[in-house]
Structure 1
Amino acid sequence: MAPAGKGGAFPFALRSAHAEPELVAVRHRVAPGETMYRIAKTYGLTVDELASANGIKDVRALAVGQELTIPGVERNVPVDAPDALAPEADPEPVRSADAPPRRSVPVVARREEPPRRPASRPGSVRPKVATQGMIDWPLRGVLYGRFGKKGREPHDGIDLAAPAGTPVKTAQEGTVLYAGEQRGYGNIVIVEHSNRLITLYAHNRDLRVRTGQKVRREQVIATVGESGKTSGPHLHFEVRLDGKPVDPLDYLGPMPSS
């Protein structure tokens, strides 16, 4: 593998210590009477985010006892077994003929402290800038790590939780500067675009392109994995302008709904 940085495989340096927010995937066992809407609301997610994280196409097809992955919940959320959630009118609950009375949600925070997510959904309170929409989202996932400082360490991109094997697509047409392994980043693809932008896709399970290859917009270039230094399957996505890291959310448009 050619080294990163000056004289290496690409015209900028990657940090040797790749700071990653910890992806915490809480497991939730479906209780009688629960719906996707109720579970998503408990953890501060949308139904679409919960369905995407679990590869569920029909949100009505829940089964009692089924385990769901709840991505993006902070590690320091206390684990309690509270009483049942307050009743509410959500459609099509999971039913069981001989189900016992509904008791508790297996893994949630204390009742007075709902589970906290490291980042809100993209575009919720963010002011619009002129460059937004220049590039496409590489996948549809749960945003749990933002650009900026993570403690003392800089975080040069954003992190999107998604099931392992989810296709990763190019944000714009361009040329693959590098496709291979990089310390900390795992299996990465770096694509150079015509508008001084470079995009980087890290922690992939496998790569579908090679160095020097021309790629079209939204071409599948990899699949989500957990290679490199990471605590779960997700995509680390960076955008660089003239080689310098910039906030991807300043260049991405709205996250696709499907």
Structure 2
Amino acid sequence: MIRRAALAAAALALLTGCPAKPPVIRPSPPAARPLPIPLQAPARHDEPALAGIVHVVRRGETLYRIARAYGIDPADLMETNGIADPRNVAVGTELFVPGASAPAEVTPYPGPMPAGPAPAAPTTARPSPAVASAAPAPAAARGPAPGRAEIVAAPPRDADDGPPVVRQGAPSRLGWPLKGVLYGRYGVRAGQRHDGIDVAAPEGTPVLAAADGSVIYAGEQAGYGAVVILRHDGGLVTLYAHNSEVLVKEGARVDRGQPIARVGQTGRTTGPHLHFEVREGTRPRNPLLFLP
């Protein structure tokens, strides 16, 4: 009798239109979108590591010869390692060589090495007038312990050493993406490699396109947060990360100085700032070499 009453009540509920609770359908997560350039999500706030190796300076090696052996510009090697004077490189110093995949054989300077000057603290890279530097760039190259440093002087260069490193008068290919405080530089810092620069600014500050170009990526990426990637003429690529808002869409054309995002603290970061990278193809380059 009780069972018949329960069945009758269920039938009455159906007839009066009491809906049954619909099943919960959860959409599957979207597939990961391929990136136009390879990125590696950082395990901490230090952004993705540079591709390269560490070269330990040996007796008779000069910075020019090391750079030539690895096929890179001596100015890039100096900038990456925070070296202002190529003579201030001691035997045993660890130099990070960006882009290298294996150790190279460096031909030592023929003959005795002349005595070099006393080591000097590396000068910082020249910032834009619109950007204030929060602190001097850390010395990236680690030399031998005090008391046993042996200076590798830059001797008079022979024909194989090429011309001196001079970048004066070179036109700037990019403009600064925002006004703020430059506090994180490209290269090696505190034992970690950093493939861009960090510029602190209030959250919501407009982030500007560094040059005319097209948007090849606009979205979220692990570690980077909300990121915009632009491609420019000549194979140059710029990346803008940790944004609070993205203002452009993929495929759009942008002009130099056009707002493309707003400063934020998305991704792995400790405060509002812009992480800015420059790449030639997929190879990271020092943004300060391209900025005024």
For Structure 1 versus Structure 2, the TM-score category normalised by the shorter chain is 0.5 to 0.7
What amino acid is aligned across from residue 119 of structure 1 in structure 2? A
Q: Deviations over 1:99-121 (max 9, x none)?
A: xxxxxxxxxxxxxxxxxx2539x
- State which of 35, 55, 68 in structure 2 corresponds to 1:9: 35
User: Which residue of structure 2 aligns with residue 213 of structure 1?
Assistant: 252
User: Which residue of structure 2 aligns with residue 251 of structure 1?
Assistant: 290
Matches within 5 A, 1:60-209: 72=134, 117=135, 119=137, 128=167, 133-209=172-248
Distance 1:149 1:3 in 2: 30
What's the offset of the Cα at 1:129? Answer: 5.3
User: Which residue of structure 1 aligns with residue 5 of structure 2?
Assistant: none
Structure 1 residues 49 and 134, CA gap change in structure 2 (3 angstroms):
closer
Structure 1 residues 132 and 167, CA gap change in structure 2 (3 angstroms):
same
User: Which residue of structure 1 aligns with residue 45 of structure 2?
Assistant: 20
Structure 1 residues 2 and 152, CA gap change in structure 2 (3 angstroms):
farther
Distance 1:229 1:174 in 2: 27
Whose helix fraction is larger, Structure 1's or Structure 2's?
2
TM-score (norm. length: structure 2): 0.48
SS of the residue 2:245 aligns to: strand
CA contact (8 A) 1:19 1:155 kept: no
Structure 1 residues 135 and 151, CA gap change in structure 2 (3 angstroms):
same
TM-score (norm. length: structure 1): 0.54
Point out where structure 1 has 5 or more consecutive residues left out of the alignment: 23-47, 51-70, 73-116, 121-126, 254-258
Distance 1:196 1:19 in 2: 29
What's the offset of the Cα at 1:21? Answer: 5.4
Distance 1:198 1:252 in 2: 14
What's the offset of the Cα at 1:130? Answer: 6.2
What amino acid is aligned across from residue 201 of structure 1 in structure 2? Y
Structure 1 residues 142 and 209, CA gap change in structure 2 (3 angstroms):
same
CA RMSD of aligned residues (A): 2.9
User: Which residue of structure 2 aligns with residue 232 of structure 1?
Assistant: 271
What's the offset of the Cα at 1:14? Answer: 0.8
Q: Which runs of 4+ in 1 moved over 2 A?
A: 1-4, 18-22, 117-120, 127-132, 150-153
Distance 1:194 1:243 in 2: 14
Q: Which has the larger radius of gyration?
A: 2
What's the offset of the Cα at 1:213? Answer: 1.0
Distance 1:184 1:133 in 2: 29
Percent identity, aligned pairs only?
47
Distance 2:281 2:46 in 1: 25
Structure 1 residues 163 and 119, CA gap change in structure 2 (3 angstroms):
farther
Q: Deviations over 1:155-203 (max 9, x none)?
A: 1100001111100000001110100000000000000001210000000
CA contact (8 A) 1:129 1:250 kept: no
Distance 2:281 2:267 in 1: 25
SS of the residue 1:149 aligns to: strand
What amino acid is aligned across from residue 212 of structure 1 in structure 2? G
Distance 1:238 1:215 in 2: 17
What's the offset of the Cα at 1:248? Answer: 0.0
Distance 1:238 1:175 in 2: 16
Aligned residues: 156
Point out where structure 2 has 5 or more consecutive residues left out of the alignment: 1-29, 48-129, 139-165
